[in-house]
Amino acid sequence: MNPTFLQKPIDYLKGVGPNRADLLRSELGIHSYQDLMHLFPHRYIDKTRYYTISQLERNNADVQIIGKITSIKMVEGKGRRLVATFKDDTGQMDLVWFRGHKWIRERIKLHIPYVIFGKTNHYNNRFSMPHPEMELLEDHEKSIRSAMQPVYPSTERLSARGITNKVVNGIMQTLFTEAKNHLFESLSQPIVTELRLMSKKDALINVHFPQSQQHLAKAQYRLKFEEFFYIQLQLAFKNINHRSKIKGYPFTKVGPGFTTFYNDHLPFELTGAQKRVLKEIRHDLGTNAQMNRLLQGDVGSGKTIVALMSILLALDNGFQACLMAPTAILAMQHYTGLQELCKDLDINIKLLQGATKTSERKMIHSALEDGSLDILIGTHAILEDKVRFKNLGLAVIDEQHRFGVKQRSKLWHKNKYPPHVLVMTATPIPRTLAMTVYGDLDVSVIDELPPGRKAIQTVHRYDANRLKVFKFIRDEIALGRQVYIVYPLIQESEAMDYKDLMDGYESISREFPMPTYQISIVHGKMKPADKDIEMNRFIKGETQIMVATTVIEVGVNVPNASVMIIESAERFGLSQLHQLRGRVGRGAEQSYCILMTSHKLSSDSKVRLETMTRTNDGFEIAEVDLKLRGPGDITGTQQSGVLNLKIADIMKDNDILKIARNYAWTLVKDDPSFQKEENQIIRFMYAQMIKFKNIWSYIS
Ligand code: ADP
Ligand code: MG
């Protein structure tokens, strides 16, 4: 690529004035020609077909119609709108605009053929199309277009300001007309040849103006490969450099805190896996490099004790430590749990959360700064600017997927050296994926549950069997156990889900009446304080049944709870089901998970339910999850901003990722300083990417 040409600001491009340039910058982060070229369509629509009005169906799909506007009028009142009558030989329909009336009125021509495109609505036996894309038939016939029309990512603000998909298409045409002689190969010849990749130039052109499905597929493959390849190259270099470059505080001694705790206060024998992981952590902490470790362990595998013992090492070496949890309930649980474990040690532990009173807060702040506070446990509140440690040596982050990368690095900057970081997660990411996503993060795995745990028995029951399930609940409660009943709450249909929850709560209350039974209810719309009260009633055993949404998904530990009922289980993802199931099976009793569904099940739902009833192994479940996941349905790893990919998808394109990873890591091993002639192009690209960081915004 010719960097100087392609780094030109988009303002220079014909058709992109200062206003549009500003919008593209602020809305999509597009600054240069190059950025614009890498704004990839997220789908393509088939515009080879023209519909007649009589052919329209009520399915609200994108359609393209040729016809004429015969009249246009304002409809006043609520929902004031401009309505045009649009006719072809087979019938008539309405075109509707809710905004931009003046602009439309000035431009629209009556009785002249147009090609319109958009989604249709059907109301009062008449079709209408809101805010259609329009083009005069005459112009439409003249313009060059491919069968597959790209649809670009957009934002509400962009479309409101007139930067429609059609406008972006036009800008792309101009861009490629100007830039096509500046597009050069960006991968080495051996790679292009071995993998039979489409050239960079053809790939870019075909992804924006596909000649055919086949061309498009080859173009996408090439661009996805390249995207993964350069990310992996960065990861590989980082991985090599990490140990030598990022300094940390070495925890050289194993002092009295750790030893006393280990010898006298450990409430149980550590499992083999816990011991191994602890050894890995101790090794990391003992070196001069900063530890950056991901601790994966299935729910109930005993990560907390590992965290505590790592914290004790920090304290033994004169440092402070913090433990951050995603919710107030969890932070509180960690706080009471750690206090209990440390009650015979001389350690000062405090809890900081949103609800902490100002006076208490001030005390905590000053105790942190003068070093008299050893361990701070808390929620996001720990990340506030006012919170300053005297010498933070270790930060433990529980349930990492709720925290973004930005927050992680905020902790890092509180010291001269970054503290060691231990990230704990119960969401098992398949190992291959973890390596590719967290290239510079070391991974430890607790793959063994504490002894004496009985495997949770999981069954699938249809709604029709509800009465039997209720009887089972009654029996378990009679034995002194507690029960969770979970309802789905999926944002889009929140109101409906909320109703399901409340209906469920009512029928449960009828089935399990007071005073024999006490029921807690917890959901996202409650005030945090009320949530805590209800949660605590259940934790203390005052209530036998907890009716809840997925807010209880993470971390809550009530060992006496032995039954987890999941309502509408077909609506949950696999990892979520597994997380929820992990709320039971924490005590010595046999536990059960009952997945309730209707009879209507998609094939994916069936696989999920079958997997859940077959296995308790989080890693196996994660692998199945990875295979099931379709486009657009992306896990926490991607949402958390670990990877911000432009065209590839870690889940969907995992095969390409593996190949790219192989090539990148081999290159870094074979030719780390880019000596080979054939790698000069990669050296150049890599240097450009580091310099103009805007291209592949990988952060870690
Ligand atoms: P998680 O990994 O889900 O955070 P916890 O750390 O909360 O798991 O541990 C779950 C339960 O198992 C706790 O009650 C804890 O005390 C107990 N536990 C942890 N390790 C062991 C062990 N080695 N032996 C027996 N019980 C253990
Ligand atoms: Mg935990």
Task: Give the model confidence (pLDDT) of 174-187 as tens digits.
Answer: 999 999 899 999 99
* pLDDT confidence band for 403 (50 / 70 / 90): very low
| Token pair 């979520």 in the structure block, residue | 576
Angle at alpha carbon of residue 60, lines to 57 and 61, rounded to 5° = 90
Higher pLDDT pick, 609 / 386: 609
Neighbours of 519 (CB within 10 A): 20
Residues 279 and 265: their CA atoms lie apart, in Å, by 19
Rg of the chain over all Cα atoms, to the nearest angstrom: 30
Q: Quick one: which ligand is closest to 305's CA?
A: 1
For the chain, give the percent of residues with pLDDT over 90.
49
Given a cut of 50, is residue 442 above it in pLDDT?
A: yes
Q: What is the pLDDT of residue 481?
A: 96
| Token pair 């011991």 in the structure block, residue | 275
Query: Closest Cα to atom 16, ligand 1: which residue?
Result: 302
Continuous H helices in 210-327? 213-245, 256-260, 272-286, 303-316
Give the strands of the sheet with 126-130, arranged side by side: 121-123, 126-130, 91-97, 81-88, 62-75, 113-119, 133-136
Q: What is the pLDDT of residue 358?
A: 94
Q: What is the pLDDT of residue 680?
A: 95
Q: Which residues lie below 8 Å from residue 211, measured CB to CB, with a gap of 6+?
A: 146
Q: Is the CB of 616 under 6 A from ligand 1?
A: no
- Maximum average pLDDT range among 363-377, 380-394, 572-586: 363-377
Query: 292-310, pLDDT tens digit by residue?
Result: 788 888 878 899 999 999 9
Q: Is the CB of 271 under 6 A from ligand 1?
A: yes
Given a cut of 90, is residue 609 above it in pLDDT?
A: yes
Given a cut of 80, is residue 644 above it in pLDDT?
A: no
Q: What is the pLDDT of residue 352?
A: 95
Q: What is the pLDDT of residue 192?
A: 97
* pLDDT confidence band for 90 (50 / 70 / 90): very high
Across 98-102, 430-434, 586-590, least confident range: 430-434
Q: What is the pLDDT of residue 494?
A: 63
Given a cut of 80, is residue 515 above it in pLDDT?
A: yes
For 207, 276, 443, 669, 698, the CA distances from 233, given in Å and listed in that order, are 24, 30, 19, 11, 11
Probe ligand 1: pick from 304, 330, 332, max atoms within 8 Å of CB? 304
Atom of ligand 1 nearest to the CA of 269: 23
Q: What is the pLDDT of residue 71?
A: 95
Query: Would you state the structure tokens that stand for residue 12, as one six-digit string?
Result: 């220079």
440 CA distance to ligand 1 middle (Å):
28
Q: Quick one: which ligand is closest to 453's CA?
A: 1
443 CA distance to ligand 1 middle (Å):
20
Fold of 47-144: OB fold (Dihydrolipoamide Acetyltransferase, E2P) (2.40.50)
Q: Is the CB of 270 under 6 A from ligand 1?
A: yes
Q: Is the CB of 300 under 6 A from ligand 1?
A: yes
Q: Is the CB of 301 under 6 A from ligand 1?
A: yes
586 CA distance to ligand 1 middle (Å):
8
Closest to 176 in 3D by CA, of 201, 151, 200: 201
For the chain, give the percent of residues with pLDDT over 70.
87
Q: Is the CB of 334 under 6 A from ligand 1?
A: no
Continuous H helices in 542-671? 574-581, 603-614, 618-628, 636-639, 654-670
Provide mean pLDDT across the span 518-541: 88
494 CA distance to ligand 2 middle (Å):
28
Query: Closest Cα to atom 25, ligand 1: which residue?
Result: 450
Across 242-256, 382-396, 431-445, least confident range: 431-445
Query: Closest Cα to atom 5, ligand 1: which residue?
Result: 302
CATH assignment, 256-285+302-425:
3.40.50.300
553 CA distance to ligand 1 middle (Å):
17
Same fold, 256-285+302-425 and 457-615: yes
- The answer to whether 399 and 428 are in contact (CB under 8 A) is no
Given a cut of 90, is residue 349 above it in pLDDT?
A: yes
Given a cut of 60, is residue 642 above it in pLDDT?
A: no
Provide mean pLDDT across the span 18-44: 91
Given a cut of 70, is residue 61 above it in pLDDT?
A: yes
Across 83-97, 350-364, 389-403, least confident range: 389-403
| Token pair 């000053």 in the structure block, residue | 366
Determine whether 108 is exposed, middle or buried from the number of CB atoms within 10 Å of its CB (0-12, 13-18, 19+): middle
Residues 666 and 515: their CA atoms lie apart, in Å, by 68
449 CA distance to ligand 1 middle (Å):
8
Atom of ligand 1 nearest to the CA of 586: 11
Strands 592-597 and 420-425: unpaired
Query: Closest Cα to atom 13, ligand 1: which residue?
Result: 302
Query: Closest Cα to atom 15, ligand 1: which residue?
Result: 302
Query: Closest Cα to atom 14, ligand 1: which residue?
Result: 586
Q: What is the pLDDT of residue 410?
A: 57
Q: What is the pLDDT of residue 372?
A: 95
Q: At what angle do helices 680-691 and 213-245 cross, to 10 degrees?
A: 70
453 CA distance to ligand 1 middle (Å):
10
302 CA distance to ligand 1 middle (Å):
3
Is the alpha carbon torsion for 569, 573, 574, 580 positive or negative? negative
Q: Is the CB of 427 under 6 A from ligand 1?
A: no
Phi, psi of 132 (to 5 degrees): -70, 155
Q: What is the pLDDT of residue 132?
A: 92
* CB-side neighbour CA atoms (13 Å) of 295: 30
330 CA distance to ligand 1 middle (Å):
14
CATH class, 457-615 region: alpha beta
* pLDDT confidence band for 414 (50 / 70 / 90): low
341 CA distance to ligand 1 middle (Å):
12
* CB-side neighbour CA atoms (13 Å) of 689: 20
Q: What is the pLDDT of residue 273?
A: 96
Residues 699 and 189: their CA atoms lie apart, in Å, by 28
Closest to 653 in 3D by CA, of 24, 101, 231, 267: 231
Q: Is the CB of 299 under 6 A from ligand 1?
A: yes
* Annotated domain spans of the chain: 47-144, 256-285+302-425, 457-615
Is the alpha carbon torsion for 334, 339, 340, 346 positive or negative? positive
Phi, psi of 70 (to 5 degrees): -105, -25
Q: What is the pLDDT of residue 175?
A: 96
Residues 352 and 350: their CA atoms lie apart, in Å, by 7
Query: Closest Cα to atom 27, ligand 1: which residue?
Result: 450
Q: Is 76 helix (H, G, I), strand (E, B) or coil?
A: coil
Query: Would you state the structure tokens that stand for residue 139, as one six-digit string?
Result: 């112009």
Query: 121-175, pLDDT tens digit by residue?
Result: 888 889 999 999 899 999 888 765 666 889 898 877 888 888 988 899 999 999 9
Q: Quick one: which ligand is closest to 398's CA?
A: 2
Side chain identity at 12, as an amino acid letter? Y
The secondary structure of residue 676, as a DSSP letter, is S
Given a cut of 70, is residue 629 above it in pLDDT?
A: no
301 CA distance to ligand 1 middle (Å):
6
Residues 37 and 33: their CA atoms lie apart, in Å, by 6
Given a cut of 90, is residue 322 above it in pLDDT?
A: yes
* pLDDT confidence band for 394 (50 / 70 / 90): very high
Greatest CA separation for the chain: 92
Residues 232 and 343: their CA atoms lie apart, in Å, by 46
Q: What is the pLDDT of residue 176?
A: 95
Query: Closest Cα to atom 17, ligand 1: which residue?
Result: 302
- The answer to whether 176 and 210 are in contact (CB under 8 A) is no
Q: What stretch of H or E contains 73? A: strand 62-75
Query: 534-543, pLDDT tens digit by residue?
Result: 988 999 999 9
Phi, psi of 344 (to 5 degrees): -95, 0
Residues 390 and 624: their CA atoms lie apart, in Å, by 45
The secondary structure of residue 130, as a DSSP letter, is E
Average pLDDT taken over every residue of the chain: 85
Atom of ligand 1 nearest to the CA of 303: 2
Query: Closest Cα to atom 23, ligand 1: which residue?
Result: 270
Q: What is the pLDDT of residue 602?
A: 87
Residues 666 and 684: their CA atoms lie apart, in Å, by 18
Side chain identity at 87, as an amino acid letter? K
- The answer to whether 458 and 581 are in contact (CB under 8 A) is yes
Residues 451 and 526: their CA atoms lie apart, in Å, by 37
662 CA distance to ligand 2 middle (Å):
34
